[in-house]
Amino acid sequence: MRKDVRILLVGEPRVGKTSLIMSLVSEEFPDEVPPRAEEITIPADVTPERVPTHIVDYSETEQTDEQLYQEISKANVICIVYAVNNKNSIEKVTSQWIPLINDRTDKDSRVPLILVGNKSDLVEHSSMETILPIMNQYTEIETCVECSAKNLKNISELFYYAQKAVLHPTGPLYCPEEKEMKPACIKALTRIFKITDQDNDGILNDAELNFFQRACFNTPLAPQALEDVKNVVRKNVSDGVFDNGLTLKGFLFLHTLFIQRGRHETTWTVLRRFGYDDDLELTQDYLFPPLKIPPDCTTELNHNAYLFLQSVFDKHDLDRDCGLSPDELKDLFKVFPYMPWGPDVHNTVCTNDRGWITYQGYLSQWTLTTYLDVQRCLEYMGYLGYSIISEQESQAAAVTVTRDKKIDLQKKQTQRNVFRCNVIGMKGCGKSAFLQAFLGRNLMRQRQIREDHKSFYAINTTYVYGQEKYLLQHFMDSKTPCMIVAAKSDLHEVKQDCSPSPSDFCRKHKMPPPQPFTCNTVDVPSKDIYIKLTTMAMYPASVPSESPAPVGKPSPPPLLCVSAATPGYAACAPATGLTTSLVSHPSFPLRHVMQADLKSSTFWLRASVGATMFAVLGFAMYRALLKQR
């Protein structure tokens, strides 16, 4: 909604433009009227819409044509004033003023016009019979007001309607020629209906209507008022009410009725509450509320967000099979302007035997989006109406920003629920299979995946000491613990064409031996290795240990690297951060994985050997000196 309103008054000389302005300000008819009133500003706290209003007068004798054109270009609404007792001033409305204004404004964004019939105190009749055909001819005319500056009749109403024409315009909502709402308005109200229909049964019951009323107008409807609304719909629309609830057709009819009766503000209040601007587009402020994320912090969905997403899933899982069929998924995203998930999502999260996204897979995908692109997550939650349904200020309330990773390392534990792990290795060593196995897919199922539907991510949950956590693998640094995985362990082991061998490398750096893994199984591949990865990410500073930790004070196993049973390596490097997602990367020789660690280890090894030799030689020289004495 606009932050201020600029009203321009034009018309023939001596029709009372200046008198109208002065009567409004002083609340009495002026004894002396100047040729032109100075621009006045009415403060927000004294206007009905609580918006500052600037009123500008025009005088043909005081101003040039160029000044008039400038004022027309700056005006938000223009009042064309005529005298009801002067036929010439009425004729000039269509012969001069409307063409002049239209020539100076863009056709696609015409300035709303208000026709003002002044001096109604001088005649007994109304000019509306003459004005109505003009209003029907020009759609930019919002309304016509007959008033009297002398008697103060309809003066406040005149400027209220002018302000209303700017803040609650008819143009974007309604087509007078067709006598129906415009497609963009129908689309916006349909989205609002679907969001409010929380049980997805196609009707708004009394509870949903009351929730809608409170959300938009901060007050519930009395039971009798609800019945009166439904009775109005019943009388005008045959299928507007069904099972004592309001259908979409009835909902749209009500708003058409509001607009036709001049109550545009009702429809605009609803539209703006659900995030729409004057062009019926969702505003950037609504879709992308401010969210500060310090360095080394990540973003996760909080408990309330998961409850909301669960309710959305339940709302569209009509057959209650804990999976979203293609039609159910399409219905869920009808409130979006586009389909946000592509076919690769089905290979990123868990699906059922029919390839449909499961409840767990659905939550996992939202978790992944929140970590990878939190702004997109905010946008998606905005489309779903999170702030309205959850009664929050914005969808930023759905996101938790984790504490700095350095604090986690200092405390040797983390409060995060989402972790990341990077999967690297030579081509053909089994990286993609490792990712898909995390989703419970054996090699046979993986071979059915289309090449253009493959995903670089795989996200799922694991349980560490009874706590559900998400795992994702991504960039690694020199301080990230590693796990070596011997992939394709169902095949015959071959000699690794490298030096040192994976086993020697692990032994040299005091790491556990390579962990065997295969997804070439009849049943679902084992998740043990993924649990180890998540555990190591949760406790990154823990001392390596292959023995299970006590329940009260966990001491998880270390991270390992990955070597394949065939030539080449693949390495997993969990790091506190992301969701359950395993990322495939090109060939990456293992000797680069821990290059910084190797340099550091070599330095301290040399320093230790040197110190030991120095101590031994010093002790020998001391013994020799004692013997000589």
Query: For 140-160, what is each residue's pLDDT tens digit?
Result: 898 899 999 999 999 999 998
Cβ atoms of residues 398 and 392 within 8 Å: yes
Model confidence pLDDT, tens digit, residues 261-313: 888 899 999 999 999 998 999 999 999 999 999 988 999 999 999 999 999 99
- pLDDT, residue 479, reads 53
User: Does the pLDDT of residue 615 top 60, yes or no?
Assistant: yes
Question: CA 423 to CA 434: how far, in whole Å?
Answer: 9
Give me the phi and psi of 79, to 5 degrees please.
Answer: -100, 115
- pLDDT, residue 45, reads 85
SS3 of residue 233 by DSSP: helix
Cβ atoms of residues 443 and 525 within 8 Å: no
- Mean pLDDT, range 598-612, rounded to an integer: 57
Question: CA 202 to CA 89: how far, in whole Å?
Answer: 53
- Other CB atoms within a 10 A radius of the CB of residue 179 amount to 9
- pLDDT, residue 485, reads 83
What architecture does CATH give domain 5-167?
Answer: 3-Layer(aba) Sandwich (3.40)
- pLDDT, residue 544, reads 47
- Mean pLDDT, range 420-443, rounded to an integer: 84
- pLDDT, residue 75, reads 94
- Mean pLDDT, range 32-52, rounded to an integer: 87
Question: CA 409 to CA 310: how far, in whole Å?
Answer: 33
Cβ atoms of residues 614 and 407 within 8 Å: no
Model confidence pLDDT, tens digit, residues 335-359: 999 999 999 999 999 999 999 999 9
Model confidence pLDDT, tens digit, residues 212-238: 999 999 988 899 999 999 999 999 999
- Mean pLDDT, range 471-497, rounded to an integer: 68
- Mean residue pLDDT of the chain comes to 84
User: Does the pLDDT of residue 58 top 90, yes or no?
Assistant: yes
- pLDDT, residue 567, reads 37
User: Does the pLDDT of residue 550 top 60, yes or no?
Assistant: no
Domain boundaries, the chain: 5-167, 177-280, 285-408, 417-540
Burial of 125 (0-12, 13-18, 19+ CB in 10 A): exposed
Question: CA 599 to CA 440: how far, in whole Å?
Answer: 39
- pLDDT, residue 208, reads 96
User: Does the pLDDT of residue 200 top 90, yes or no?
Assistant: yes
- pLDDT, residue 576, reads 40
192 vs 591, higher pLDDT = 192
Question: CA 92 to CA 98: how far, in whole Å?
Answer: 9
- pLDDT, residue 607, reads 62
User: Does the pLDDT of residue 565 top 80, yes or no?
Assistant: no
- Mean pLDDT, range 616-624, rounded to an integer: 71
- pLDDT, residue 583, reads 32
User: Does the pLDDT of residue 470 top 80, yes or no?
Assistant: yes
Which of these CATH numbers, 3.30.300.30, 1.10.260.40, 1.10.238.10, 1.10.8.420, describes 285-408? 1.10.238.10
What architecture does CATH give domain 177-280?
Answer: Orthogonal Bundle (1.10)
Question: CA 349 to CA 341: how far, in whole Å?
Answer: 12
**What is the model's pTM?**
0.76
- Mean pLDDT, range 559-568, rounded to an integer: 40
**Residue 153 DSSP label:** B
- pLDDT, residue 96, reads 94
- Mean pLDDT, range 377-394, rounded to an integer: 96
- Mean pLDDT, range 568-576, rounded to an integer: 46
According to CATH, the superfamily of the domain at 417-540 is: P-loop containing nucleotide triphosphate hydrolases (3.40.50.300)
> Tokens representing 87?
């036929």
Among 50-64, 434-448, 608-622, where is mean pLDDT lowest? 608-622
User: Does the pLDDT of residue 547 top 50, yes or no?
Assistant: no
- pLDDT, residue 608, reads 64
Cβ atoms of residues 544 and 402 within 8 Å: no
Give me the phi and psi of 469, to 5 degrees please.
Answer: -135, 155
- Mean pLDDT, range 182-194, rounded to an integer: 97
Q: Strand pairing of 77-83 and 5-11?
A: parallel
Question: CA 109 to CA 483: how far, in whole Å?
Answer: 63
94 vs 480, higher pLDDT = 94
Among 59-73, 277-291, 298-312, 576-590, where is mean pLDDT lowest? 576-590
- Other CB atoms within a 10 A radius of the CB of residue 32 amount to 5
User: Does the pLDDT of residue 31 top 70, yes or no?
Assistant: yes
Q: Dihedral of the CA atoms 618, 622, 628, 629 (nearest 10)?
A: 150
Model confidence pLDDT, tens digit, residues 519-540: 888 888 888 888 888 887 777 6
User: Does the pLDDT of residue 416 top 80, yes or no?
Assistant: yes
AA identity, residue 344:
D
- Mean pLDDT, range 382-403, rounded to an integer: 96
- pLDDT, residue 473, reads 53
Question: CA 600 to CA 417: how far, in whole Å?
Answer: 31
Question: CA 348 to CA 243: how far, in whole Å?
Answer: 41
Same fold, 177-280 and 285-408: yes
